[in-house]
Amino acid sequence: MTSETGFDVRKYDRFPTEGSRPDGELEQLEAAWCGPRRPGEWITAINNNIIGVYYVGAAMLFFVLAGVLALLMRTQLALPMTGFLPQETYNQIFTMHGTVMMFLFAVPAVEALGVLLLPQMLGARDLPFPRLGAYAFWAYLIGGLAFFCSLFFGLAPDGGWFMYPPLTGMTYSPGINADFWLLGIGFIEISAIAGAIEIIVGVLKTRAPGMTLDKLPVFPWAMLIFACMIIIAFPSVILATLLLELERALGWPFFDPLKGGDPMLWQHLFWFFGHPEVYIIFLPAAGAMSTIIPAMARTRLVGQPLVVMAMLATGFISFGVWAHHMFTTGMPQISINYFSAASMAVSVPAGVQVFAWIATIAAGKMRFSTPGLFAVGGLIIFVMGGLTGVMVAMVPFDWQAHDSYFIVAHLHYVLIGGMVFPMFAAIYYWLPMSSVRPLSERMGKWIFWLMFAGHNIAFMPMHLTGLMGMPRRVYTYLPGRGWDLPNFISTIGAFLFGLAVLLWVIDMIRNFRPFGPREAGNIHDGPGLEWLPSGYYSVRSVPVVKSLYPLWEQKGLAKEVEEGRWFLPGAAGGERQTLVTSPLNAEPQYVLRLPRPSPWHVFGAVFTAGFFLILTIQAYAVAVVSGVLAIYCIMRWCWFLDAPHNRKTTDIGAGIRMPNYVSGPSSHGWWAMVIVLIVGGMVCLLAGFSYVFLWSRRPDLWQASPAMASLMLHLGVLALAGLCAAVAPRMLRRARTGAETLATALLVVSAVGAATAVGLELRAWWSAGLKPDATSQGAAVFALLGWAGAFAGIGVLMGLYILLRRAFGRLSADRPSTVDLIGLFLAYTAGQAAMVLLLIRLFPGAGP
């Protein structure tokens, strides 16, 4: 095998090591990774074993809450023209049910599963950015709870979970209800993106040595694709919520047809996120199925490369299906047909996975324990949802089924079969990893059958109510149309489902005991690394992976791992460390020092959430204070990054020494920054699409751009800014004297330059008479410049940060990462601003 990094893989043969481990090594490891000792440390904790459990728990809390809302709705709809819920309450409740299930349960739940399981599955001690993960969790929990509570004050959004303007615009939704959705959800998306960065870098860079792509288990594969999809899809909803909030707060007409806006722009942006979202939810769940089914059937996954291919294909094709939510909007027929074809294509990979699961069940011998039951039940329900999915992918049928209860049935079959059942299977399967006691098998079977029956009784009749003409999102219906009986049956089914969830909650209270001294362990005889004996430090030593099913095929592995005979058996210098490996062949590259618990990320999360929520209730001064505090806390947190090391290298076992520090493209920080910039670039790209889209609707409203001479000047300043940012890291490494000062100066010049150029450009447009609230062109131009300006503004904050670091002597040519990453960010900022300028000046035509 050729080496990816120059690491000699024959060194793997030195393991497992012989002889006894030094005294005190295990104690030092345990001390470095000790759990919370004081009550406050349960909040400042960052270990994925703790945060992961919180995270899954919070997601399931929102599942239960949104489920209660569903029961309220089903009670209202049990009979025609009932007055159980007033109309406005019902409208808020159905909006919240969809929103909470999608944004506060489904995405966070699978992300939480990733945070909890990935390090153990990959043989890492923790994820590469534990504080970022904890920050994302706290922001999500606080933001989510506050968002949910808006329901109790009658302030919950009521525009449906996809919030179509103009209904959600200021004219038709004057209250702050819609703002809760836009700011609350927009903010929770940021937390989802933070989680995605963590997962991508974790899967690519912190795998156990030898875990090449073909030996990477299917669940991490799914999480990797999931996280990449978040990076591509979520910018779209972030942009959409930004634009709608700008329209609501400042009157910038993106969606108002009277001033050149178009409500269809929202639909394109929302569904470009919204449909991939379904697969974003489904893929990790499918990955869990592909892990649980082989374990339950005690055999290898049949067609594993096909399954991975199917997941990759799903990831791609799901971005080509967004407009199948828009077949009835009067889009050109040929475009609609493309989306119809793509919608069919996306069902092929789903079929591959379903048949791979069936073949695996046939190849082995399925055990009907609770995880097995949920897996098989989920498979059946998902297939039925997939079949109705093919039906609604057919344009003529969709014209009838669209926005009717048929769709309600379809989406619940897909999401419950494709995500909720696998989620329960995953909880039953992996819970013994985190709990002293497993859940009750007897109760589990009851829960499964109640849920399976309840689901079908609730949602099967909805296909019929849809064909009978019942539209979705109705708070009541008239008698005499034959809708009464199927609705009544649906309500019974919903309550059976609710009963199943209630039993599960009871069983969790009875048996779930996390953070104990020992876990129930590998009661299912699972094959993955996550079943190795572990503590808060994850595995005692990190094994070389030689198989896709290491615990089945590498005999004696558990014992050797526990005896510390593999990589990184201790905590050198009492530090928390994990091994960073190369992205393709997982060859060891360096030892990453992980942070310890601290309160700053928690405060940062509190104030970030505070900023957005207080903004919603329009207490602007308080919001600004909260925002400044958030920036302060995050800077405090960053202050400890890139700190000096006592030792240059660490012995990772068998006399192999690895550096403690690297910079540049091998480092985990570099990967994370690149991913952040991809997110920024996606938002900018989609904003550019919006600009062109709005132009195509009303070219007559477009005015000429300012004089060309100013464009040249601004581009020149940006080129200078980009150049400074690009050379700063090189100067830091090369300059003989004053390297730190020179690099700092270059970065500050770059940040100020980019901000100046964007500011000058804004002034040029303003004096040319373009106003953001007058026409769609004004709105689009100022939004694009605003985005570029926001990056420049963050760049200025980074400039301030690097100045402070220089002043306090926390910058060194030996540790160039800080300068590298800020340089990368600023170079991107200048490039992005230049692209924005070129677009708004030269399209559709150059000015005088």
Partner 1 sequence: MTAGLLIWAAHFVGLYLLASAADVWSSTEAAAGRWVGLGFSLLCLALIAVAAIVIARRPVPDGPGLWERRVALTGAFVAAVGVTWQTTPLAF
Partner 2 sequence: MLGGWPPPVLDPAGPFAGPVTMVAWVLFVMGAVVLAVVLIALGVALFGPRKWKRRVGGERLVWIGGLAFPVVVLTGLLIYGLSVTARVSDAPRDGEMRVRITGEMWWWRVAYLDGQGRETVQDANEVHIPVGRPVVIELESADVIHSLWVPRLGGKTDMIPGRRNFMRLQADRPGVYAGQCAEYCGGPHALMGFVVVAHADADFEAWRARQAASAAPSALPGAGVFSASGCGACHTIRGTEANGLAGPDLTHVGSRQTLGAGILPNNQGTMAGWIADSQGIKPGNRMPSYPVLTGRELRDLAAYLDSLK
Q: Where in 640-717 does DSSP place strands (E)?
A: 649-651, 657-659
Binding of partner 1 by 585 (CB under 8 A): yes
The enclosing H or E element of 588 equals strand 588-594
Residue nearer to partner 1 on the CB measure, 698 or 733: 698
Q: Which of residues 245-274 bind partner 2 (CB under 8 A)?
A: 257-258, 261-264
Is residue 321 close enough to count as binding partner 2 by CB under 8 A?
A: no
Q: Which does 716 bind (CB under 5 to 8 A by kind): partner 1, partner 2, none?
A: none
| Structure token pair of residue 617 | 């209730």
- Among 345, 358, 520, 523, interactor with partner 1 by CB under 8 A: 345
What does 5 interact with, of partner 2, partner 1, none (CB < 5 to 8 A by kind)?
none
Interface with partner 2, residue 337, by CB under 8 A: yes
Burial-class residue 518 by CB neighbours within 10 Å (0-12, 13-18, 19+): exposed
Percent helix, percent strand, percent coil in the chain, to nearest 5: 70, 5, 30
Per the CB < 8 A criterion, the answer to whether 802 and 740 are in contact is: no
Q: Which does 84 bind (CB under 5 to 8 A by kind): partner 2, partner 1, none?
A: none
In the set 317, 381, 409, 420, which binds partner 1 (CB under 8 A)?
Answer: 317
Task: Kindly report the number of other CB atoms within 10 A of residue 88's CB atom.
Answer: 13
Residue 319 interacts with, from partner 2, partner 1, none (CB under 5-8 Å by kind): partner 1
701 binds, among partner 2, partner 1, none (CB under 5 to 8 A by kind): none
Which of 13, 18, 214, 700 is close enough to bind partner 1 by CB under 8 A? 214
Among partner 1, partner 2, none, what binds residue 213 when CB lies within 5 to 8 Å by partner kind? partner 1
Residue 479 beta carbon to partner 2: minimum distance, rounded to whole angstroms:
8
Asked if residue 767 binds partner 1 (CB under 8 A), the reply is no
Cα distance between residue 259 and residue 268, in whole Å:
19
Tell me which stretch binds partner 2 (CB under 8 A): 299-307, 555-563, 586-594, 783-791.
299-307
Instruction: Check binding of 308 to partner 1 (CB under 8 A).
Output: yes
One DSSP character per residue, 706-769 reads PPHHHHHHHHHHHHHHHHHHHHHHHHHHH-SSSHHHHHHHHHHHHHHHHHHHHHHHHHHHHHTT
Partner from partner 2, partner 1, none contacting 503, C-beta within 5 to 8 A by type: none
Sorted by sequence, the CB contacts under 8 Å of residue 719 that are 6+ apart come out as 830, 834
Q: At how many degrees (to 10) do helices 263-297 and 370-393 cross? A: 150
User: Among 334, 480, 518, 665, which residue sits at the site for partner 1 (rule: CB under 8 A)?
Assistant: 334
Task: List the alpha helices (DSSP H) in 251-303.
Answer: 263-297
- Please give the Cα distance from 541 to 534 (Å, whole number): 10
Q: Which of 119, 186, 349, 786 binds partner 1 (CB under 8 A)?
A: 349
Contact assessment for residue 8 and residue 658, using Cβ atoms and an 8 Å cutoff: no
Q: Could you tell me if 50 and 35 are in contact, meaning their C-beta atoms sit under 8 angstroms apart?
A: yes
DSSP state of 420: I
Q: How many CA atoms lie within 13 A of 303 on its CB side?
A: 19
- Residues in region 452-481 near partner 2 by CB under 8 A: 464, 466-469, 471-478, 480-481
Q: What is the nearest approach in angstroms of partner 2 to the Cβ of residue 689?
A: 19
- Interface residue with partner 1, options 316, 449, 515, 639 (CB under 8 A): 316
Binding test (CB under 8 A) with partner 2, winner from 213, 341, 624, 707? 341
Indicate whether 3 belongs to the interface with partner 1 (CB under 8 A). no
Which stretches within 346-401 are classed as H helix? 347-363, 370-393, 395-401
* Residue 123: partners with Cβ closer than 8 Å, 6 or more residues away: 207, 208, 211, 529, 538, 539, 542, 543, 545
**Which region among 274-282, 302-310, 541-549, 709-717 touches partner 2 (by CB under 8 A)?**
302-310
Chain centre to alpha carbon of residue 192: 4
Q: Which helix (H) or strand (E) holds 408?
A: helix 405-415
Interacting positions 158-217 with partner 2 (CB under 8 A): 158-160, 164, 166-167, 171-173
Least distance to partner 2 from the beta carbon of 99, Å? 14
The binder of 538, among partner 2, partner 1, none, by C-beta within 5 to 8 A per type, is none
Residues numbered 76-115 forming contacts with partner 2, rule: CB under 8 A? 86-88, 91
Q: Return the number of the residue (294 or 653) whose C-beta is nearest partner 1.
A: 294
State how beta strands 649-651 and 588-594 pair: unpaired
Partner touching 619 among partner 2, partner 1, none, CB below 5 to 8 Å by kind: none
The answer to the question of residue 136 lying near partner 2 (CB under 8 A) is no
Tokens of 653: 């076992």
82: contact with partner 1 by CB under 8 A: no
Residue 675 CB: number of other CB atoms within 10 A?
19
Residue 736, phi then psi, degrees to nearest 5: -80, -45
Give the Cα separation of 150 and 157 in Å (integer). Answer: 8
- 92 vs 100, 407, 436, 498, CA distance in Å? 12, 20, 40, 20
- Residue 347, interface with partner 2 (CB under 8 A)? yes
CB nearer partner 2, residue 157 or residue 831: 157
Q: Which residues between 351 and 410 bind partner 2 (CB under 8 A)?
A: 351-356, 358-364, 366, 376, 379-380, 383-384, 387-388, 390-391, 394-404
Binds 302: which of partner 2, partner 1, none (CB < 5-8 Å by kind): partner 2
774 binds partner 2 (CB under 8 A): no
Give, as ranges, the residues between 691 and 750 that touch partner 1 (CB under 8 A): 696
Q: Which of 376, 268, 397, 369 is nearest to 697 (CA)?
A: 268
Complete DSSP assignment for 63-128: HHHHHHHHHHHHHHHSSTT--SS-HHHHHHHHHHHHHIIIIIIIHHHHHHHHHHHHHHHHT-SS-S
- Choose the contact partner of 507 out of partner 1, partner 2, none; CB within 5 to 8 A by kind: none
Q: 488 or 639: whose CB is closer to partner 2?
A: 488
Q: Give the residue from 535, 473, 615 showing the smallest Cα distance to 96.
A: 473
What's the closest the beta carbon of residue 337 comes to partner 1, in angstroms?
Answer: 3
Among residues 149, 250, 341, 838, the one that binds partner 1 under rule CB under 8 A: 341
**CB of 842: closest distance to partner 1 in angstroms?**
17
Q: How far apart are CA 137 and CA 192, in angstroms?
A: 9
Query: Binds 480, which of partner 1, partner 2, none (CB < 5 to 8 A, cut-off by type)?
Result: partner 2
The Cβ of residue 314 has, within 10 Å, a number of other Cβ atoms equal to 25
42 binds, among partner 1, partner 2, none (CB under 5 to 8 A by kind): none
Nearer to partner 1, 360 or 487 (CB): 360
Report d(CA 587, CA 610) in Å as an integer.
43
**Choice from 61, 64, 68, 306 touching partner 1 (CB under 8 A):** 306
Q: Which does 403 bind (CB under 5 to 8 A by kind): partner 1, partner 2, none?
A: partner 2
Residue 88 touches which member of partner 2, partner 1, none, C-beta under 5-8 Å by kind: partner 2
Residue 12 binds which entry of partner 1, partner 2, none, with Cβ cut-offs from 5 to 8 Å by kind? Answer: none
Judged by CB, which is closer to partner 2: 169, or 706?
169
Sequence-distant (6+) residues with CB within 8 A of 276 are 229, 232, 233, 318, 319, 322
- Does residue number 535 form part of the binding site for partner 2 (CB under 8 A)? no
Binding-site size, partner 1 (CB under 8 A): 32
The only residue of 3, 171, 335, 767 in contact with partner 1, by rule CB under 8 A: 335
Residue ranges binding partner 1 (CB under 8 A): 1, 212-215, 305-306, 308-310, 312-313, 316-317, 319-320, 332-335, 337-338, 340-342, 344-345, 348-349, 584-585, 696
